[in-house]
Chains A and B, each alone.
Chain A
Amino acid sequence: MASADVVLQIEGLTKIYRSLFTPAGVRAVDNLNLTVRQGETYSIVGPNGSGKTTTLKILLGLIFPTAGSASIFGKSIADLSVRERIGFLPEDAYLYDCFSGEELLDFYAGLFGYSKARRRELVDELLTLVGMQANRKVPFRECSKGMRQRIALAQALVNDPELLILDEPTSGLDPAGRHQMTLLIQEMKKRGKTILLCSHFLAEVEEVCDRVGIMYRGRLVAEGTIEELAGEPEETVVTVTDLSPETAQRLSALPAVKEVAADVVRLDHVGEKDLWQALEIIHDGGGEIVEVSRPRPSLQDIFVKAIREEVE
């Protein structure tokens, strides 16, 4: 059911690797259904071997599905014209290591048939965008991991793609490199690009993604926005100071209160009436209310929970 704003649609995608030793095959991707809409940043997360990279490789025509189908911009992934509109950042920046960033970008831009003048312009723009102007002539093999990753991102952008497919863009980078890469992805998002991202770094995913799909053993076990996946907050946390023992005792007597510590009161997810009652007791007892929060689980928590449920 393709609608106008659907950029990527995957239906029943399955990939089984068979060998002499595993005649039944290993299901790398198992009946995957997934939709990415225009302008959306969608992240596939999952442990190693969950089928993330296999899915991306199928979308790029590097390997072929055993069953199911996928379309990009409403066209089959086998259609070459689709690749005019997508950019791909491979994991670990596998590029020719004897060439400089400038030479590499010129080569990849040439594959789109750009003229020499246009290529020169483009190479300048991209090197500036990824902050590699000063190191444009450094051979790729002599670049740091962060520099390599930035050149690899630049090559994915040579055709100003509408859909960016990023495989582990922050893998192997130090915190500063990860931050820079996250900023670049956010910049791409601001420019209206649709982004499909695979990553292990859940904090970055949480920072840039609109929706997340959690894959485990080739299957999509959970999908949605972080808020949808997190569900309703399970507790209300009141941070306090100057909590007297009497006040603590009165609070403990309330049915909604789960825990009372020196500086924090935890309540089950309660209605306004229960919360106000607890706050009044704290106030009347001379305690000072610092913060009332309803923390949602992090993506890490959601991820661990989803995988645990699958394993069980």
Chain B
Amino acid sequence: MNPVVTKVILTVGVALIVAAAVVTRRAWLPAIWHAIPSVWRIAKITVAEARRRRVLQAVIALVILIIVSMTFFSYLSPQEQARMLINGGLSAITVFGIMLAIFVAAFLIPNEVESRTVYAILAKPVRRFEFVLGKYLGALIVLAAVVAIMTVVLVGVLVVQDHLVEDLPDSVFNPNIAQVVFASAMSYCALAVLTALIVLISTVSSTTMTVISAFIIWVVGSMQSQIHDLAEKATGAAKLLLLVMYHLIPHLENFDFRFQASYFVPIPVPAAISAVISGILYTGVVLIVASVFFNDRQV
């Protein structure tokens, strides 16, 4: 689609949503106000529960190990090493972040339903959408903490490595830390979008089905440009299926700025802003649908 048309659609869409929200504020504002404490309490207990699960610590430890072990490639030139560290570190953060997002989000709601812990919560004055949002917010906080820790380690390794090689003759290590942090933050945005979609799937299916669907979404979402190319060449039902996938599954590759960070290329700010805004809108819609589905679910 023409980028100008996309921008117009996006701008008009945002304007319409904001206008609708302002006009109908009396209907939803009190409910949102009432929901905040419950959402926050559920998010907090979700975080506390995740903190006590060893898998989280194991994933963080593994990623730290991977990042630190990449400094051992001493045969590379300083710049190549910087590039490899940034690309490898960001890739580890993305891949392990996504795997963690899948496993955290896929278990969020089905686990509560299967273990029946949801009974005692929904028997309290807690609306079902508050429960969904609380669980989602909890997962976001957990993922934010994990991505932040992994990013801090990556940045720390880059800074230490920079100091180590600065005295060498003709060495150019010079990583752009701001770009690394930015790329990591964008990876987190992708995780947030993916987590919302997994939460939506988990409101209507079992844990196993959710995990399988989440992996498919991750793969498809990361290769949407190829899906688009395939859709253009395909015909009939295959074309329709590919187009549906292209339009419904989030374009996770739009959040991928690893290349810019590792090759010291300036970040395309408009593309990043566009990805973030569309990600927020997509997440909002997905969470509304998830709340509607969970509202009708018999637990």
Contacts and interface: CB of A to CB of B under 8 A. Distances in A.
Interface of A: 57, 60-64, 80-81, 83-84, 86-88, 90, 92, 94-96, 98-99, 103, 107-108, 110-113, 152, 155-156, 159, 165
A198 B116 CA distance: 18
A83 B120 contact: no
A90 B116 contact: yes
A61 B45 contact: no
20 contacts: A60-B119, A62-B118, A63-B299, A64-B298, A83-B123, A84-B125, A88-B120, A90-B120, A92-B116, A94-B117, A96-B45, A96-B49, A98-B53, A99-B48, A110-B41, A111-B121, A111-B125, A111-B126, A113-B37, A152-B120
Interface in B117-139: 117-127
A83 B52 contact: no
Contacts of A98: 49, 52-53
A108 B298 CA distance: 22
B119 A90 contact: yes
Closest 7 CB pairs of A and B: A94-B116, A88-B123, A63-B298, A110-B41, A111-B124, A83-B125, A90-B119
Nearest to A86: B123
Contacts of A60: 119, 122-123
B117 A62 contact: no
Contact of A95 (B44, B117, B299): B117
Interface string B96-128: 000000000000000000011111111111110
B38 interface: yes
Interface of B: 37-38, 41, 44-45, 48-49, 52-53, 115-127, 298-299
Contacts of B38: 111
Nearest to B37: A113
State the main secondary structure of chain B at its contact with A. Answer: helix
B52 A108 contact: no
A110 B37 contact: yes
Contacts of B124: 83, 108, 111-112, 159
Nearest to B298: A63
B30 to A, nearest CB: 12
A152 B119 CA distance: 12
A119 to B, nearest CB: 11
Contacts of B127: 80
Contacts of A107: 41, 44-45
Contacts of A108: 120, 124
**By CB atoms of chain B within 10 A, which of A80, A86, A155 has the most?**
A80
B129 to A, nearest CB: 12
B127 to A, nearest CB: 6
A56 to B, nearest CB: 9
A96 B117 contact: yes
Contacts of A81: 125
Contact of A111 (B41, B52, B299): B41
A57 to B, nearest CB: 8
B131 to A, nearest CB: 10
Given A110-B41, A111-B38, A94 B122 contact: no
Contacts of A113: 37
Nearest to A79: B125
B125 to A, nearest CB: 4
A87 B117 CA distance: 15
Nearest to A61: B122
B115 A94 contact: yes
A257 B232 CA distance: 97
A59 to B, nearest CB: 9
Given A87-B123, A110-B37, 13 more contacts: A57-B119, A62-B122, A62-B299, A63-B299, A88-B120, A90-B119, A92-B116, A94-B116, A95-B117, A96-B45, A96-B49, A103-B48, A113-B37
**By CB atoms of chain B within 10 A, which of A96, A99, A113, A156 has the most?**
A96
A94 B120 CA distance: 8
B298 A62 contact: yes
Contacts of B41: 107, 110-111
A106 to B, nearest CB: 10
